C-alpha cells in the first residue's frame, strides 16, 4: 500500500513538472525586449518570477538588477505583452472596455471605456503613457492572469 502511494505521488510530481515545462514553452518572446535594456531582445533562459508569471531579460546581469518595485511598469507591460496577463477593464476608470477605444502603448494594445480615457493616454508623452496604464495600482484593477 505504501509503495503504491509513493508511485502515485511520483507520477503526480512528474506530471506537474511536465506541465510547468510545457507552460514555459507557451510564452512567446518574439518581439519582446529586455526589461532593463529595451534595445536588447529578451531570452527565455533569463527570467525572474513576478506576480505569478515570468519576466524576461537579455542577460543574467539585467536579471540580477531587476527591482520589482522600481521596474513594475515595464514588468507589468511585459506580462501583458507575453500574454501571461490580459486586460479586463479600462485602466483609468475600471469600467468595461470598448474595443473601438484602443491605443498601442509600447507595442501592447490597451482598450479604454471611452474616448475621454483614450485621449488622456494619447496626450501623455514618453514613459508617462506606460505609467498611466501599467502602474501597480492600475494593474491590480484592470488586468488579471490569463487562463491556461
DSSP 6-65: HHHHHHHHHHHHHHHHHHHHH---TT-B-SS-TTSB-EEEEEEEETTEEEEESSHHHHHH
pLDDT of residue 148: 62
Whether residue 105 lies inside any domain: the answer is yes
Q: Average pLDDT of the chain?
A: 87
Whether residue 1 lies inside any domain: the answer is no
Whether residue 117 lies inside any domain: the answer is yes
pLDDT of residue 1: 56
pLDDT of residue 9: 42
pLDDT of residue 135: 97
C-alpha cell at 66: 531587476
Number of domains the chain contains: 1
Whether residue 100 lies inside any domain: the answer is yes
pLDDT of residue 40: 97
The residue with greater pLDDT, 143 or 9, is 143
List helix spans (H) across 27-105. Answer: 60-65, 72-81
Rounded to an integer, the average pLDDT of 53-82 is 97
Whether residue 82 lies inside any domain: the answer is no
Whether residue 20 lies inside any domain: the answer is no
> What whole-number distance in Å separates Cα of residue 36 and Cα of residue 80?
17
Whether residue 102 lies inside any domain: the answer is yes
Q: Which residues, other chains included, contact 116 with Cβ-Cβ below 8 Å and sequence gap of 6+? A: none
pLDDT at 124 over 60: yes
Threshold 0.95, pTM exceeds: no
Q: pLDDT > 70: what percent of the chain?
A: 82
- Pairing of the two strands 108-112 and 85-87: unpaired
C-alpha cell at 75: 514588468
Q: Which range of residues forms the domain containing residue 97?
A: 88-145
Whether residue 129 lies inside any domain: the answer is yes
Amino acid at each position: 500500500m505504501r509503495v503504491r502511494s509513493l508511485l502515485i505521488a511520483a507520477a503526480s510530481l512528474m506530471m506537474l513538472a511536465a506541465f510547468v515545462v510545457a507552460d514555459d514553452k507557451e510564452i512567446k518572446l518574439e518581439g519582446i525586449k529586455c526589461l532593463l535594456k529595451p534595445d536588447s531582445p529578451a531570452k527565455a533562459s533569463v527570467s525572474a518570477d513576478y506576480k505569478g508569471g515570468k519576466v524576461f531579460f537579455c542577460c543574467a546581469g539585467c536579471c540580477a538588477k531587476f527591482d520589482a518595485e522600481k521596474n513594475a511598469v515595464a514588468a507589468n507591460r511585459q506580462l501583458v505583452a507575453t500574454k501571461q496577463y490580459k486586460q479586463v477593464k479600462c485602466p483609468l476608470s475600471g469600467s468595461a472596455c470598448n474595443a473601438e477605444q484602443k491605443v498601442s502603448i509600447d507595442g501592447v494594445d490597451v482598450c479604454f471605456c471611452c474616448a475621454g480615457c483614450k485621449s488622456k493616454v494619447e496626450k501623455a508623452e514618453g514613459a508617462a503613457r506606460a505609467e498611466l496604464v501599467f502602474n501597480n495600482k492600475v494593474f491590480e484593477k484592470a488586468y488579471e492572469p490569463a487562463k491556461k
